[in-house]
Chain A
Amino acid sequence: MKRPPKDNEESARKISRRAALLGGAQMVFAGVLVLRMRSLQLGQSEEFRLLADENRINIRLLPPARGMIVDRNGALLAGNVQNYRIVLVREDAGEPRAALERLAQLVPLTPEDIERAEREIMRHRPFVPVTIMDQLNWEEVARVAANAPAMPGITPEVGWTRFYPYGAEFAHSVGYVGPVSEADLAARENPDPLLMIPRFQIGKIGVEREYEETLRGSAGHRRVEVNAVGREMRELDRQEGDPGSNIQLTLDRRLQAFTLARLGEDSAAAVVMEIQTGNILALASAPSFDPNLFVRGISVAEYSALRDNDHRPMSNKTVQGAYPPGSTFKMVTALAAFEAGLTTPDERVYCPGYLEAAGRRFHCWNRGGHGRVNITSALAESCDVYFYDLSQRVGIDLINAMAERLGLGIRYDLPLSGVSSGLNPSREWKRDRRGADWVIGDTINASIGQGYVLATPLQLAVMTCRLATNRAIMPRLVHAVDDIEQPIPDQPPLGLNPANLAQVQRGMWEVSNSQRGTAFGSRIVAEAMRLAGKTGSSQVFSITAAERAAGIRSQSELPWNRRDHALFVCYAPDVDPRYAVSVVVEHGGGGSSVAAPIARDIILAAQNGGLPPVEAYPSAQRNRIESMIRTISEQIGPPATPDDARSRA
């Protein structure tokens, strides 16, 4: 519009003034912006740089190789084998269901597996590799690899998994590993971050569990740069972890295999120890199970079969099983009396087949009576009345002390699961636990290893070592960790009077070397290998009056789970003994008929460093023994390979 020049000038002046005003304000604001930049970029840049690095750098753990477990001769008991698995990356594979169905044409994948895998895949971000199959054999992996171009996003990968080449032989001692459970994490105060890795496995029982930290090693790590959604962009650096330590056990694979095979179908346990060192050479609990099942993920059916078996395959009876030691306890009673000077080797006790005390009648196993017996014949013939008589004079306090001296009632610190302390009863124990006073009947029962007394097969083997050496031998299971030999525990002298001990040893010798001995049938004729031992048959239930009336007289007529436990402890050779063996056959019937033959075979195998030599047996038994040894040696196979295990599964 047309304006007078005066207005135009005024307008221009006003605009200039206002422009200067607002321009100034704008400059001030720009100044504020610069100050803000200075404060953030120059003042706080270190902090922000740190935050940026925290954003982008992730630390990923590298699981270390688990240490191996070998036997005394270096045979591999627990190792790591390559494990092939199939991994799917959703963003490369496309529609997961279609991809899985294509895969199912190559490898066994049930519709349920596909369903489960699909759910698993959809739970993760599209770039996260998801394991959809594990434990594939080489042939299956090769098929998948050959078809890789047709199946984008599906790749076979190699990992490591635990493998036990000898399967059931070492299931209880070596144990097994399994996936980390909630309980495992809860039980640890500061769980190793490795345990959070999916599919990471830790020891669940046995040496695998007790030496978990040693075997596990320490994690390595990779520092990787990730983007905002967590996708790995590149590796910044990498530090390999330290592999776990290797552990060498004192166990002897061949002897272990023989021992377990010899126990056969029975519910039984046997321990073989090297007397001078306390090394445990075999630790067999029958029946056993394949620990590889647990590594792979045991099925419900397999697990319930193990759990519901009345022979309790999952229990390590050598240290968890506490049994009334029966007559194998009689050496304790005898030594307690001799050391206290309450009897002499010449003293004879008359056995009419029973003893009356405290208004009760305590029977000898031989109801006809043994007549006059001394210490040697009482042990050889296992006369109960002799020990009943001694025990009344000795009393429970001395018996308890002697049992402890010989290694009973002690919980040995071995890397095994559920090691039991057995039970070495005393007056205090009964008062505390049973709320009753100790009575003379308790002492009489204890004198023959019945009543409250309980011992594990391991404790019985330790007792046998101590009886053979007069030293406090301690059991030892771990020989070396990473080639560093573990010390042999101190073996202080027991301080028993050698003459007294010799009396007891003489009695044990007669058990299998005298015609009257309870284990004469299980004698060894090879002089350099002869054994000295003691039978035991411990009552689980008394034969009831009703059963007796029904004509049941012998153990074999009773139902299995009511029969006596059969026990035998022995050492050999009789001069300069080297090996001690204890055998317990649950509900086996009689120690002399069931446990002693087993113990003889095992101790011969130990002495021979292989199978038992047939010449060592009485000639009348050799045919039978030869065929038995053949059967057993056929059962002892070479170590399994991972593929064998898979085809069995």
Chain B
Amino acid sequence: MSYLEYNVKRSPSGLRKVLYVNWALVLLLSAVASIGFLQLYSVSGGNFDRWTEPQMQRFGLSLAVMFTIGFVPLWFWRSMSVMGYAVSFVLLLGVEFFGTVGMGAQRWLELGPIRLQPSEMMKISIVMMMAAYYDWLDIKRVSHPFWVLVAVLLIVVPAFLVLIQPDLGTALMIIGAGGMVMFFAGVSLWYFGAVIGLGVGLVTAVFMSRGTSWQLLRDYQFRRIDAFLDPTLDPLGSSYHINQAMIALGSGGWSGRGFMQGTQSRLNFLPEKHTDFIFNTLAEEFGFIGSVFLLTLYIGIIVTCVIAAMQAKNRYASLLILGIAGNFFLYFAINMAMVMGLAPVVGVPLPLVSYGGSAMLMILIGFGLVQSACIHRPREKS
């Protein structure tokens, strides 16, 4: 099956593509983003201009980008995979040397009016790259140590560059997304077992390194881990954030305190209430019901993607969709675990809900690729 084959004979073309858009996915994404608009309106104290309006504009723009990408045939994106990875990699190196330092970390490049976060790009690029790699690689060789090593290097090197920015959350997500594609591609489970073993060893080493000259994490990261392990340790210091976040979440109860009635967020006790901790404002104002509703929407997106991946009779498309869905899962799972006190505070936003344009654009670019795979799926009748 060549591109020519399905492009000409079986894939929809022209305006007919609109019919084959995965509308369920579009609907779910819009629903989640709308919850975001609502919460941003609430935490700004009813100020539409402050966060809600820019967020809506960004969502509209990102949605347009998603459709644009979706209407471009998948073979084009497959051919762009290596190029995209290379560009992201070079930019990651660039950020290391020319990056702007913000919030104590080097995270972006100023390219004229555009503020580029190469680590965000890498989250998508790694999935595309890995999907292309395993599409290219002979199925019989996926578990061959050499080809596994190549894949591991493709993942770990950019992840390391992100880690030293330092941005632990994104580094973990790059490793997670890449690793998941390897998993879907059928790499022997023994390797994953070994990695998990190594991971446990590494965590031990990290803790051992504390206070020594070869300390592996920054002090603030250690403190975040401490705050996670014992939030009562220092209620006004490093664990203040997580304590206040838990208070906001817990005080929501069954049905919450009502829209715009959350005292923790309205009175600024909740830190980062419009970004990383926006889930807590939702939980405070809409309670258990609201929290579970949002989680259900997220799972709906994952399920939609998995169905699309099963339908795609194409190795690249399946791996790409599953990788992107896995990446999305990592986003909300890490964020929710973090704000509920189940994981250290690593700075991962709640996808499509947290205020911020860069992450939203990257997520919808990813779903644009999913749409491209859905639209250009070879069909029996066209």
Are A and B bound to each other?
A: yes
Q: List A residues at the B interface (Cβ < 8 Å).
A: 1-3, 7-8, 10-12, 14-16, 18-19, 22-23, 26-27, 29-30, 32-34, 36-38, 40-42, 44-45, 47-49, 51-53, 55-56, 225-229, 233
B139 at the interface (CB under 8 A from A): yes
Contact of B184 among A10, A22, A228 (CB under 8 A): A22
Interface residue B248 (Cβ < 8 Å from any Cβ of A): yes
Contact present for A40 and B249 (CB under 8 Å): yes
Give chain B interface residues in 146-187, CB to chain A under 8 Å: 180, 183-186
B263 located at the interface, meaning its Cβ lies under 8 Å from any Cβ of chain A in the complex: yes
Is B73 on the interface with A (CB-CB < 8 A)?
A: no
B295 partner, pick from A14, A33, A55, beta carbons under 8 A: A33
Are A49 and B253 in touch, CB under 8 angstroms? yes
In the bound complex, CA of A643 to CA of B61 (Å):
70
Please report whether the interface of chain B is mostly helix, strand, loop or mixed according to DSSP. helix
Minimum distance in angstroms from A35 CB to a CB of chain B: 10
Q: Is B318 an interface residue (CB 8 A)?
A: yes
Of the residues B139, B269, B318, contact of A55 by C-beta under 8 Å: B269
Give a binary string over B214-258; 1 marks a CB under 8 Å from any A CB, 0 the rest.
Answer: 000000000000000000000000000000101111111110000
- Point out the residues of chain A lying under 8 angstroms from B340, CB to CB: 33, 36-37, 40
Report Cα–Cα, A16/B319, bound state, in Å.
10
B136 on interface, CB distance cutoff 8 Å: yes
* B244 shortest CB reach to chain A, Å: 8
Q: Distance in Å from the Cβ of A510 to the closest Cβ of chain B?
A: 83
CB pair A40–B246 under 8 Å, yes or no, is yes
Query: Quick one: which of B305-320 are within 8 Å of A by CB?
Result: 306, 309-310, 313, 315, 318-319
Chain A nearest CB from B235 CB (Å) reads: 10
Please choose the segment from B20-28, B110-118, B285-293 that sits at the chain A interface, where 4 or more of its residues have CB less than 8 A away: B285-293
What chain A residues lie within 8 Å of B283 (beta carbons)?
A: 37, 41
B99 at the interface (CB under 8 A from A): no
Interface centre among B1, B244, B302, B315 (most CB of A within 10 A): B315
- Interface residues in B52-111 by Cβ distance below 8 A to A read none
B247→A15 contact, CB < 8 A: no
Q: Does B368 contact A (CB under 8 A)?
A: no
Smallest beta-carbon distance B144→chain A, Å: 15
Q: B259 within 8 Å of A by Cβ?
A: no
Give every chain A residue within 8 A of B264 (Cβ-Cβ).
Answer: 52, 55-56
The 4 closest A-B pairs by CB, nearest first: A48-B250, A227-B267, A45-B253, A228-B268
Given A49-B253, A227-B269, 15 other A-B contacts at CB below 8 A? A15-B186, A19-B306, A22-B180, A32-B342, A33-B333, A34-B295, A41-B250, A42-B253, A49-B250, A52-B247, A52-B248, A55-B263, A56-B264, A228-B268, A233-B267
B313, A23: Cβ atoms under 8 Å?
A: no
- Interface residue from A34, A37, A226 paired with B267 (Cβ < 8 Å): A226
Candidates B251, B252, B302, B322; contact of A15 at CB < 8 Å: B322
A228 touches B269 (CB 8 A): yes
Q: Is the interface of A mostly helix, strand, loop or mixed?
A: helix
Instruction: Tell whether B337 is near chain A: CB-to-CB under 8 Å.
Output: yes
* B-side contacts of A1, CB under 8 Å: 135-136
A15 to B315, alpha carbons, bound, how many Å?
A: 8
Contact B246 A48 (CB under 8 A): yes
| Chain B residue nearest to A42 in the complex (CB) | B288
In whole angstroms, what is the CA distance A404 to B319 when docked?
A: 109
Q: In the complex, what residues of A have CB within 8 A of residue B43's CB?
A: none
Give 14 pairs: A residue, B residue, CB < 8 Å, sorted on A. A1-B136, A10-B139, A14-B139, A15-B184, A15-B186, A15-B319, A15-B322, A26-B302, A30-B299, A33-B337, A45-B254, A52-B247, A55-B247, A225-B267
Shortest Cβ distance from A26 into B: residue = B329
Measured between beta carbons, the chain B residues less than 8 angstroms from A225 are 263, 267
Complexed CA–CA distance, A59 and B350 (Å): 36
Q: Which of A16, A29, A44 contacts B333 (CB 8 A)?
A: A29
- Give the docked Cα–Cα distance between A29 and B135 (Å): 29
Nearest CB of chain A from residue B251's CB, rounded to whole Å: 4
B382 at the interface (CB under 8 A from A): no
What's the Cα separation between A92 and B243 when bound, in Å?
Answer: 33
A33 contact from B263, B315, B336, Cβ within 8 A: B336
Residues of A within 8 A of B266 (CB): 227
Q: By the criterion CB–CB under 8 Å, are B268 and A229 in contact?
A: yes
Partner of B251, one of A32, A34, A52, A226: A52
Within the complex, the shortest CB–CB distance from B180 to chain A, in Å, comes to 7
CA distance A10 to B306 in the complex (A): 18
Q: What is the chain A residue whose CB lies nearest that of B250?
A: A48
Q: How far is the CA of A23 from the CA of B321 in the complex (A)?
A: 13
Query: Given the known A-B contacts A36-B342, A41-B287, are A18 and B183 also in contact in the complex, defined by CB atoms under 8 Å?
Result: yes
